[in-house]
Amino acid sequence: MILRPYQSAASEAIFKEWLENDSTLVVMPTGGGKTILFADVIRRVFPRRALVIAHREELIFQARDKIQRVTGLQADVEMGDYQAEGGLFDAARVIVSTIQTQCSGGDGGGRMAKFDPARFGVLIIDEAHHATSPSYRRVIDYYRSNPALKILGVTATPDRADEEALGQVFQSVAFDYEVQDAIHDGWLVPIEQQMVHVEGLDYSSIRTTAGDLNGGDLAAVMEAEKNLQQMAAASLEIIGRRRALVFTASVKAAEMTAEIFNRHRFGMASWVCGKTEKDERRTMLSDFAAGKIQVMCNCGVLTEGFDDPGVEVVIMGRPTKSRSLYSQMVGRSTRPLPGVVDGPETAEERKAAIAASAKPSCLVVDFVGNAGRHKLVTSADILGGKFSEEAIEMATVKARAAGKPVNMAQALDQAEEELLEQKRKADSARLAEAARRAKLVATARFTTQSVDPFDVLHLEPVKARGWDQGRQLSEKQRSLLAKQGINPDQVSFSGAKQLIAEIFRRWDGKLCSFKQAKVLRKYGFDTDVSFADASATIDQLARNGWVRPARGTTSVVTNGSALNPALN
């Protein structure tokens, strides 16, 4: 199987991280092909054995089948009545197991005790945001008794609290490719958000338990007949003939929501929950995929392991404060239709193919009420992993006021551009003032002064990720920043990584260095210029006694003359 470019990049990044760390994490969105990625990793570590751990039965057989298809290696399942071969010579090269199975067993050691950690080369944890729980930590510690073991965690967009905890389990983040990246690159469909105001819907009195809305309190609000009637009526008007997946706060709410939909058109909706018989669930989901059922309501069973690219609308009858949970729910609808993006080679071609397909986007419907003190998650939050909090809030406010579907990727881009334009105007004013001062003060030499490196390089500092909390820069990273004239003690770990990435980007593009940019900025010049042009401008400044010539008298030489030694 041919990997997509980002999957290849992630695979390479994993092995690079493993040169210095025993464990690493990959962030990749639902529908981004995480299983294909770790199947490639398993192929590359062969003949060393691999153990894959997930927490849901639905994920186990999907993982086994894809691994066997991608690698050609036998994969055995260790779960319930399924027993993986454990002999020395007949053992499968890949074992796929649930965390519950690994921890089960009357002897206290769990079924993991049947496996010798020394016989595995890699441990892969699917949906790794669960890896911070005691059961996962117990299993990880057991297999970590093998000092040669490498560990890989894969997850979609995690919560901020999850990020911090994941930083305690995994030593590094090898690759961070999020929903917004995949949409920009044309691998996932654009997400449109529609906010619907429901009169009388009030979340303000709901308690917070374990970081999310209390289940019992939420169910009481979402099971109210009046609320469900309004939500269903609005949904019917919005979805038209499109297939929709409804997430509800309780089993009762799922049943009631389906019943209300069916009052409008008999047989258009059905519902499933954890207690639905497997054969019955399979039949209903098959009918849903075939279009015999238009609306499928569920409580907590289709958030993971459910793959139906034909789902066009996700209706959030289960508001949440959890970015991870919201991401899982939205991810049921972000896949393009089969075959749409497999042929085109460029991002623009893929996006054009999606736009011309029968599913040009997915629509997420949120119901707005009185949230009180709660900060409820919207699609802006799951798309905004790399955006500033100000941009996320600005995009959310615009979507709430629009009264119609809003392309949230575009809304975030526009919000960030507006904020950057505000910053550019402020920077321009500061540059003009710097130029004015430079003419008044004819000091002979440039002297080091404390400056904001992000301002110098026209960067908006990235939102710090939780897994970077408490992390320290390596000596190589500190040395690189120091050589560029940036004090590593004055920037955060996340900020330092951003600055280092920008330094490398400038090197690759033959753009001016940070030291050059700092000088140019001091004298009111543009910093988005080539290294050669920056050198020429700085040389001319030096010849002019470090006084900026009057406008129109400065000629910029473009022969790449060397930077004045005094500035190195």
Helix or strand or coil: residue 143?
Answer: helix
Task: Round to whole Å and give the CA distance between 359 and 309.
Answer: 9
Q: Are 122 and 149 spatial neighbours (Cβ–Cβ below 8 Å)?
A: yes
Give the other-Cβ count within 10 Å of 275's Cβ: 9
Most confidently modeled range among 69-78, 239-248, 485-494: 239-248
| Global confidence as pTM | 0.80
Beta strands in 371-515 (DSSP E): 406-407
End-to-end CA distance of the chain: 49
Cα angle for residues 325, 326, 332 (degrees, 5° grid): 95
Q: Are 485 and 514 spatial neighbours (Cβ–Cβ below 8 Å)?
A: yes
Q: Is the dihedral of CA 265, 268, 272, 276 positive or negative?
A: positive
Helix, strand, coil percentages, rounded to 5, for the chain: 45, 15, 40
> b/e string for 550-561 if b means 16 or more Cβ within 10 A?
eeeeeeeeeeee
Q: What is the 3-state secondary structure (H, E, C) of 238-302?
A: HHCCCCEEEEECCHHHHHHHHHHHHHHCCCCEEEECCCCCHHHHHHHHHHHHCCCCCEEEECCCC
Task: Round to whole Å and give the CA distance between 211 and 221.
Answer: 18
- Residue 392, pLDDT > 90, answer no
Type of residue numbered 470: G
Q: Are 131 and 169 spatial neighbours (Cβ–Cβ below 8 Å)?
A: yes
Segment 426-452 shows an average pLDDT of: 57
Residue 214 pLDDT level (bands cut at 50, 70, 90): very high
User: Checking DSSP bridges between strand 244-248 and strand 295-298, what pairing results, if any?
Assistant: parallel
Type of residue numbered 104: S
489, exposed or middle or buried, with CB in 10 Å at 0-12, 13-18, 19+? exposed
User: What contacts 553, CB < 8 A, 6 or more positions away?
Assistant: none
Q: What local confidence, expressed as pLDDT, does residue 552 receive? A: 55
User: Checking DSSP bridges between strand 150-155 and strand 23-27, what pairing results, if any?
Assistant: parallel
List Cα–Cα distances, 338 to 187, 188, 343, 354, 359, in angstroms: 11, 11, 11, 11, 10
- CA neighbor of 520 nearest in space, from 496, 495, 487, 556: 556
The per-residue pLDDT for range 225-238, each reduced to its tens digit, is 999 999 999 999 99
- Residue 161, pLDDT > 60, answer yes
- Residue 558, pLDDT > 50, answer no
Q: What local confidence, expressed as pLDDT, does residue 564 receive? A: 39
The per-residue pLDDT for range 115-142, each reduced to its tens digit, is 899 999 999 999 888 888 889 999 999 9
Task: Round to whole Å and give the CA distance between 194 and 481.
Answer: 44
Task: Round to whole Å and give the CA distance between 162 and 128.
Answer: 10
The per-residue pLDDT for range 11-61, each reduced to its tens digit, is 999 999 999 999 999 999 988 999 999 999 999 999 899 999 988 777 888
Q: Which helix (H) or strand (E) segment is 538 a member of?
A: helix 531-543
Type of residue numbered 145: S
- CA neighbor of 318 nearest in space, from 364, 361, 269: 364
User: What contacts 292, CB < 8 A, 6 or more positions away?
Assistant: none
For residue 22 the two structure tokens come to 């025993």
- Residue 563, pLDDT > 70, answer no
- Residue 67, pLDDT > 60, answer yes
Give the other-Cβ count within 10 Å of 238's Cβ: 17
Residue 450 pLDDT level (bands cut at 50, 70, 90): low
547 backbone dihedrals φ, ψ, rounded to 5°: -120, 130
Q: Which domains does the chain have, with CATH numbers?
A: 5-177 (3.40.50.300), 191-409 (3.40.50.300), 441-567 (no CATH)
The per-residue pLDDT for range 312-333, each reduced to its tens digit, is 999 999 999 988 889 989 999 9
- What percent of the chain is modeled with pLDDT above 90? 47
Task: Round to whole Å and give the CA distance between 70 and 62.
Answer: 12
What is the rounded average pLDDT for all residues in the chain? 86
CA 322 to chain centre: 14
